[in-house]
């Protein structure tokens, strides 16, 4: 399964782990989104949930990381038929 997350050039192990976790979490959210749709606030809640999950796993998430996660979430919610 080729996704936009797998096309990101991974420079270090931390980013590779973040990408894997974000991809797993997004798979569930995208499936749900396709059934019911999300508002902007709900989309922000998804991003916050992903950040919280990553922080629980010991990652320190910067504002730049959050911005990248937001871009990934937006792209996944707009894609059709990838997952």
pLDDT tens-digit map of 8-38: 554 566 777 877 888 888 777 777 766 666 6
Strands (E), 1-83: none
Does residue 41 lie within any of the structural domains?
yes
Tokens coding 44: 């922000």
Does residue 6 lie within any of the structural domains?
no
pLDDT at 66: 92
pLDDT at 83: 40
Does residue 53 lie within any of the structural domains?
yes
Total count of domains within the chain: 1
pTM over 0.75: no
Q: What is the rounded CA–CA span in Å between residue 7 and residue 44?
A: 24
Confidence of residue 82 (pLDDT cuts 50, 70, 90): very low
Which structural domain range is residue 24 located in? 11-78
């Amino acid at each position: 399964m080729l996704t936009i997350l797998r096309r990101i050039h991974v420079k270090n192990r931390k980013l590779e782990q973040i990408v894997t976790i974000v991809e797993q979490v997004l798979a569930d959210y995208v499936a749900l989104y396709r059934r019911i749709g999300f508002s902007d606030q709900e989309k922000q809640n998804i991003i916050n949930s992903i950040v919280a999950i990553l922080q629980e796993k010991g990652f320190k998430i910067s504002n730049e990381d959050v911005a990248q996660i937001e871009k990934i979430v937006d792209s996944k919610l707009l894609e059709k038929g990838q997952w």
